[in-house]
Amino acid sequence: MEIDHGALITDAAEAAGIDINVPCGGQGRCGRCAVVVENGNARRRSTMRLSAADLEAGYALACQTVVEGDLEVFVPPQEEITRHLTTEKTAAKVSVPFDYDWRAHQTVLKYFVEVEPPSISDNTDDLARLERELAKCCDIRGLYAPLPMLRTLAQMLRRADWRVTAVIDRGGECPRLIDVLPGDQTTNLFGAAVDIGTTTVTVYLVDLLSGEVIETAADYNGQLKRGEDVISRIVYASKGNGLVELQTLVAETINKLIQRTTMRRKIDPKQIYKMAIVGNSTMIHILLGLPPEQIRLTPYITTVNHPPQALAQELNLNIHPLAPIDCLPGVASFMGADITAGVLSSGTHASDTVTLFLDIGTNGEMVMGTREWLVSCACSAGPAFEGAGVYAGMRATTGAIEEVWINAKTYEPTIRVIGGGKPRGLCGSGLISLIAEMFITGVTDKAGSVNLSLPTQRVRQGEHGAEYVIAWANETETGKDIVITKPDIDNLLRAKAAIYAGYVMLAQSVGMTMNDVEQMLIGGSFGQYLNIEKAIEMGLLPDLPWDRFKFLGNTAARGAYMALLRRDAREEIAEIAKKMTYIELAADNAFTEQFMAALFLPHTDMTQFPSVEKVLEGQEAQ
Amino acid sequence: MEIDHGALITDAAEAAGIDINVPCGGQGRCGRCAVVVENGNARRRSTMRLSAADLEAGYALACQTVVEGDLEVFVPPQEEITRHLTTEKTAAKVSVPFDYDWRAHQTVLKYFVEVEPPSISDNTDDLARLERELAKCCDIRGLYAPLPMLRTLAQMLRRADWRVTAVIDRGGECPRLIDVLPGDQTTNLFGAAVDIGTTTVTVYLVDLLSGEVIETAADYNGQLKRGEDVISRIVYASKGNGLVELQTLVAETINKLIQRTTMRRKIDPKQIYKMAIVGNSTMIHILLGLPPEQIRLTPYITTVNHPPQALAQELNLNIHPLAPIDCLPGVASFMGADITAGVLSSGTHASDTVTLFLDIGTNGEMVMGTREWLVSCACSAGPAFEGAGVYAGMRATTGAIEEVWINAKTYEPTIRVIGGGKPRGLCGSGLISLIAEMFITGVTDKAGSVNLSLPTQRVRQGEHGAEYVIAWANETETGKDIVITKPDIDNLLRAKAAIYAGYVMLAQSVGMTMNDVEQMLIGGSFGQYLNIEKAIEMGLLPDLPWDRFKFLGNTAARGAYMALLRRDAREEIAEIAKKMTYIELAADNAFTEQFMAALFLPHTDMTQFPSVEKVLEGQEAQ
């Protein structure tokens, strides 16, 4: 095939229909798009992530290499994304946790009406006839009937012998006609709540009459192959057709999940008449086709925090084309609808006690407050706790080490692996557990440096500096040692320091300290597998009595579900978004200071971690 | 090429990219799609309009002939539609005829604002920043920004250095953002008023600041080649892809006229931010993509008489894609927005005296009333006065005979031809003039029968019965005699009888007679060329003193223009539509009686035409 001189190999590959994953979004940062230039003229703009040996062997980063003439390129098989998600398997059956009566709370409703057939003496138009009946029976006035609806109205009324069910959205200024169905179809009504995570998309199929979640499905966000974190996605969206491509990918993911849930229940996806969506601001911008560039550029401005209602057909979502798509409001570039929805569903905004709400995903967002006030901030923790940026890191799927214990005498580890088989790497909770154990047993010091003088082969000098071996090659799935290196530890320390500094900044902003926190609520699927003790020992969670912690699971999806059902819950989220003060940490020197102070295990100021001090004293006493 | 067995020749031709005109919409009624089947298997479903000689020569109606095997078809050259419209040439410069101040009256407005650039300490989203400024300077609250607008907002604000002109539609429930332009662009603002006639489409390009019409353009409705009258269009729209095709054709016509007017003024069509449209209910249904079938089926029901506002992009209109398209409201299937707009612009609804408003186009619609009441009816006059259904009939273009005088002694005619050259046929005013003269001079009797015993070669027995020769072959452009036949006269009598019966029915419905009409207003371009004397003599207009008649030109387009400019005029049309009583004549026996009584020249009841009686007496006295 032919491609313009000066194009990137990734562009050429895409034009040729070859899929090359670029997890960092094409920044040349991750090295995963390496290909072999076998012949011809190519110019490497960056060789970051490639060794001298790699270069000698012809390796080049597809996203950083320019075509300068005829070229033969070999694309090595790339790491597959495992398609088994723990979230879907473990997703708990959600029952309606609050009072719900569709007549009182729902905005999308069905009405069965018998329209009077026209005659020469009563020859008003079809729409007016329908309106007349709806006004009479259901007090609906000023109905807005969009064109696509009107285009089928005449035929539908006659086909159905003038007995029809009108589906109407009463959420806006004027009631809006979404659909007209033949006969009485008021016995069912469906909606969907969707959580678009940077990594995972979750869909709840909801019976809008009973309010119950009748099916749940989750899968990786299809955008993953175009960047693993939010910044990579923004970078990708800013280039060429990137935004449209990412929009299509996430819409396809949602459509697949809708398809999966409706098939199980033998429902036509077109019967879904309402969708409420949460996600961070970048995910929502991309879904809506809004360029997200400014989100990552100082002073970090979104196009819109309270998106207008969209229609399914505008976003290529395969439910009823005129169904309202309600993207819930966020607060700022790094304080999205996932957090306002989380505040709602966690009850933070209605709490009598001082509450700290934390959602650790790819970023760490947190909100502190009571029913009187709410302050929030976001820490760019990076995806270290999701297994990225760590040599042996992986997502929480089969083969991931999720818990580690180190024998303080022999320094030999004991591990627990998801699925029970041979390990392949470490997921977030495994990494936290490992770092805490290494620190407590003296494998590392406060600064995270591995003590190479220990009498064990588990510590050694590796290619990337000092490292600790968690599993030997013959014990692993991959046939290679699983190790944690100094750069890995530094990455994890930076992530936890950013989060801890965030707590302190929030508390300080309202003249408090961490000891004033009476309740700590942790959302996000990650939270579910967190070991409080270990998380405190590494300094990721504040040193509070354990009974102050509560794990809430997917608070974002739950918030979307509440907003899908109840008009007042939807209004409450808007109130939360309006009320919440957002503190931008990026340019704050005080944050940098707090961050530096937290870059140790568990912290430079040990008075903030009295329980850990006690454990250490215990260790030394042995 | 290949086509399915059983397809029509018209379908096959379309698939092959060959354009065959079907003026009657494919009903086999007009005979103009005749082709020659030279070879192969075809089955004629109908041979109406073909003579035995035609059939022998291989002629077949393309719209009525089914392909039943390999086929060779010759398509004879078809009548071209002349592209020179008198309406455009003669369109008078329209100056603002009423008080207009865009600040007070216009619903689409431009606002120049200087938005405060964001900073770390003021990091609200782009849309909220714009809203803040619009609220401050222009008291705009609750702004709705549609997705396509939001998609360009971030870039536009920054590109324009935060100094932008917002274009806002304040016509609906919430102000709606249509466009954001760089810098101060408040010095111009454009809109368009459009009249979609069954035959002719007229566009006024309007300066929404001064209120002046700055350009006018008119052309044939592109749908003409798919049917000449409303019924043919409905038939065509009901088959296969017909509706989409007709929608595309009329949108293309409008786009061409927009292009023509904006080019003359060097304006980008995207600068047109508002459009008001009038047309009969069928034209409006097709433009909106609404199936028009029910309009022609008893009891004649439209999908909608008050269409919702549409966006330009929904209708494929090439002005600003988010510009509001306001299709003005009608009253019934055969009482469309062209008439409500005509009532508005004629002032019928605000008159102190009893007024009869008449619009003769392809149909004859009429409204009687004062400021207190309005009654209306529509007569299916057929397109006889537009030159169709009459052997020598043609549109009012170059070569059309527009006026005829007959010498009562010699029976020799004198004619006036549009353009001054040789005649090609007769247009509507020419036909009226001719019939009146023939009657007055005794060439025909009251029943329209040609008196063959007259001492002149001008009357003779022709192929279709008795006929009168208006021009001999050597005097004409076509080299053939121009004649009027008995069937032609019958057609014209039926058309005028339908209209006259309409007057009587309206007057009777409010307990009046025609003598109570104090003012008669005639709209439609046809009216402009009407000779009152002749029209009364043939019984098309009621026998009132001549000073009671007023010709108003294109009242429909003028009403659209008023509604485009003034919010209150738009509301007035809605009021007119609501207030107007529509009388359905189709099923009314009293109408049939009146129709039968009017099927004579000028009428069976001569007491209704005293002035004509006098003229006849004068003739006899000579």
User: What domains can be seen in chain A, in order of their start residue?
Assistant: 9-74 (3.10.20.30), 107-182 (3.10.20.880), 194-327 (3.30.420.480), 346-383+493-621 (3.30.420), 384-486 (no CATH)
Is residue B377 within 8 Å of B590, Cβ to Cβ?
Answer: no
- Indicate the residue type of B564: L
A535 vs A44, residue with greater confidence: A535
Task: Report CB contact under 8 Å: B150, A124.
Answer: no
- pLDDT for the residue B55: 85
Mean pLDDT of B103-120: 97
Instruction: For tokens 């004859």, name the residue.
Output: B364
Task: Report CB contact under 8 Å: A288, B154.
Answer: no
| Distance to chain B for A473, nearest Cα, Å | 50
| CB atoms inside a 10 Å sphere around CB B411 | 20
Residue B219 CA from chain centroid, whole number: 11
| DSSP annotation string for A533-587 | HHHHHTTSS----GGGEEEEE-HHHHHHHHHHH-HHHHHHHHHHHHH-EEE--TT
Q: What is the mean pLDDT of chain B?
A: 91
Grade residue A333 by pLDDT with cuts at 50, 70 and 90.
very high
Is residue A193 within 8 Å of A204, Cβ to Cβ?
Answer: yes
Task: Give me the residue from A126, A293, A302 closest to B304, CB to CB.
Answer: A126
Whole-angstrom distance, CA of residue A132 vs CA of residue A125: 11
To the nearest whole percent, how much of chain B has pLDDT over 70?
94
Burial of A121 (0-12, 13-18, 19+ CB in 10 A): exposed
- pLDDT for the residue A337: 97
Grade residue B93 by pLDDT with cuts at 50, 70 and 90.
very low
Task: Indicate whether B516 pLDDT > 90.
Answer: yes
Whole-angstrom distance, CA of residue B193 vs CA of residue A489: 70
- pLDDT for the residue A91: 43
Short-list A322, A328, A327, A329, CA closest to A169? A322
Of A47-56, A198-207, A554-563, B20-29, the one with minimum mean pLDDT is B20-29
Task: Give me the residue from B154, B291, B299 closest to A123, CB to CB.
Answer: B299
- pLDDT for the residue A363: 77
A3 vs B608, residue with greater confidence: B608
B90 vs A481, residue with greater confidence: A481
- pLDDT for the residue B430: 93
B22 vs B127, residue with greater confidence: B127
- pLDDT for the residue B619: 73
Mean pLDDT of A333-356: 96
Task: Report CB contact under 8 Å: A288, B147.
Answer: yes
In tens, the pLDDT along B551-599 reads 998 899 999 999 999 999 999 999 999 999 999 997 789 999 999 999 9
- Residue B222: both structure tokens together: 């592109």
Task: Give me the residue from B123, B314, B586 closest to A332, CB to CB.
Answer: B123
- pLDDT for the residue A88: 44
Q: Is B126 on the interface with A (CB under 8 A)?
A: yes
Task: Indicate whether B87 pLDDT > 90.
Answer: no
Whole-angstrom distance, CA of residue A132 vs CA of residue B110: 37
A459 vs B55, residue with greater confidence: A459
Grade residue B83 by pLDDT with cuts at 50, 70 and 90.
very low
- pLDDT for the residue B335: 96
Q: What is the pTM of this model?
A: 0.85
- Indicate the residue type of A356: L
Task: Indicate whether B381 pLDDT > 80.
Answer: no
Whole-angstrom distance, CA of residue A316 vs CA of residue A312: 6
In tens, the pLDDT along A571-598 reads 999 999 999 999 999 778 999 999 999 9
Task: Give me the residue from B288, B301, B584 closest to A147, CB to CB.
Answer: B288
Is residue A339 within 8 Å of A331, Cβ to Cβ?
Answer: yes
Task: Report CB contact under 8 Å: B123, A584.
Answer: yes
Whole-angstrom distance, CA of residue A229 vs CA of residue B549: 77
- Non-local (6+) Cβ contacts of A375 within 8 A are A367, A368, A369, A506, A509, A510, A580, A581, A582, A583
Find chain A residues with C-beta within 8 A of B301's C-beta.
Answer: 118, 123-126, 154
- pLDDT for the residue B388: 72
Task: Report CB contact under 8 Å: B150, A294.
Answer: no
Residue B186 CA from chain centroid, whole number: 35
Give the strand pairing for B549-553 and B519-523: parallel
Grade residue A395 by pLDDT with cuts at 50, 70 and 90.
confident
- pLDDT for the residue B27: 66
Whole-angstrom distance, CA of residue B377 vs CA of residue A605: 91
Q: Is B146 on the interface with A (CB under 8 A)?
A: yes
- Non-local (6+) Cβ contacts of A137 within 8 A are A111, A113
Whole-angstrom distance, CA of residue B71 vs CA of residue A157: 43
- pLDDT for the residue A70: 86
Q: Is A97 on the interface with B (CB under 8 A)?
A: no
Task: Indicate whether A29 pLDDT > 70.
Answer: no
Is residue A345 within 8 Å of A562, Cβ to Cβ?
Answer: yes
Mean pLDDT of B94-109: 87
Task: Report CB contact under 8 Å: B304, A119.
Answer: no
Mean pLDDT of B396-410: 89
- pLDDT for the residue B41: 85
Task: Indicate whether B343 pLDDT > 80.
Answer: yes
Whole-angstrom distance, CA of residue A387 vs CA of residue A396: 8
Task: Indicate whether B54 pLDDT > 60.
Answer: yes
Give the strand pairing for A459-462 and A465-471: antiparallel
Helices (H), A16-73: 52-56
Grade residue B385 by pLDDT with cuts at 50, 70 and 90.
confident
Task: Indicate whether B92 pLDDT > 50.
Answer: no
Is residue B424 within 8 Å of B433, Cβ to Cβ?
Answer: no
Which residue in chain B is spatially nearest to A174 when comparing CA positions? Answer: B173
Of A227-241, A379-393, B24-38, the one with minimum mean pLDDT is B24-38
| Distance to chain A for B125, nearest Cα, Å | 5
Whole-angstrom distance, CA of residue B128 vs CA of residue B141: 11
In tens, the pLDDT along B143-196 reads 999 999 999 999 999 999 999 999 999 999 899 999 999 999 999 999 999 999
Output helix, strand, coil percentages for chain B, rounded to the nearest 5: 35, 25, 40
Q: SS3 sequence, A10-32?
A: HHHHHHCCCCCCCCCCCCCCCCC
Task: Indicate whether A307 pLDDT > 60.
Answer: yes
- pLDDT for the residue B10: 86
Mean pLDDT of A85-101: 59
Is the omega angle on the peptide bond into residue B308 within 30 degrees of 0, that is, cis?
no
Task: Report CB contact under 8 Å: A301, B154.
Answer: yes
- Residue A440: both structure tokens together: 């407590």
B197 vs B49, residue with greater confidence: B197
First-residue to last-residue Cα distance in chain B? 69
Q: What are phi and psi of B480, to 5 degrees?
A: -125, 155
From residue A556, give the alpha-carbon distance in Å to each of A233, A247, A321, A560. Answer: 21, 21, 25, 6
- pLDDT for the residue A527: 66
Find chain A residues with C-beta within 8 A of B293's C-beta.
Answer: 154
Task: Indicate whether B85 pLDDT > 50.
Answer: no
| DSSP annotation string for A206-274 | EETTT--EEEEEEEE-GGGGG-SSHHHHHHHHTSTTHHHHHHHHHHHHHHHHHHHHHHHHT--GGGEEE
Burial of A1 (0-12, 13-18, 19+ CB in 10 A): exposed
Of A19-28, A109-118, A344-353, A362-371, the one with minimum mean pLDDT is A19-28
Grade residue A266 by pLDDT with cuts at 50, 70 and 90.
very high
- pLDDT for the residue A117: 97
Q: What is the mean pLDDT of chain A?
A: 91
Task: Indicate whether A26 pLDDT > 60.
Answer: yes
To the nearest whole percent, how much of chain A has pLDDT over 90?
72
Short-list A319, A308, A313, CA closest to A274? A319
- pLDDT for the residue A90: 39
- Indicate the residue type of A450: V
Half-sphere exposure of B116 (CA within 13 A, CB side): 16
Helices (H), A47-107: 52-56, 86-90, 102-105
Burial of A532 (0-12, 13-18, 19+ CB in 10 A): middle
Task: Report CB contact under 8 Å: A120, B301.
Answer: no
Q: SS3 sequence, B163-214?
A: EEEEEEECCCCCCEEEEEEECCCCCCCEEEEEEECCCEEEEEEEECCCCCEE
Task: Indicate whether A98 pLDDT > 90.
Answer: no
- Residue B62: both structure tokens together: 């393309």
Whole-angstrom distance, CA of residue A12 vs CA of residue A65: 11
Is residue A402 within 8 Å of A427, Cβ to Cβ?
Answer: yes
First-residue to last-residue Cα distance in chain A? 70
- Coil/strand/helix, residue B129: helix
In tens, the pLDDT along A430-480 reads 999 999 999 999 999 999 999 999 999 999 999 889 999 999 999 999 999
Is residue A385 within 8 Å of A454, Cβ to Cβ?
Answer: no
Which residue in chain B is spatially nearest to A156 when comparing CA positions? Answer: B303
- pLDDT for the residue A30: 58
Short-list A38, A96, A106, A44, CA closest to A72? A38
Whole-angstrom distance, CA of residue A326 vs CA of residue A560: 9
- Residue B81: both structure tokens together: 């539609």
In tens, the pLDDT along A123-160 reads 999 999 999 999 999 999 999 999 999 999 999 999 99
Grade residue B82 by pLDDT with cuts at 50, 70 and 90.
very low
From residue A189, give the alpha-carbon distance in Å to each of A177, A318, B32. Answer: 15, 16, 53
Mean pLDDT of B66-94: 60
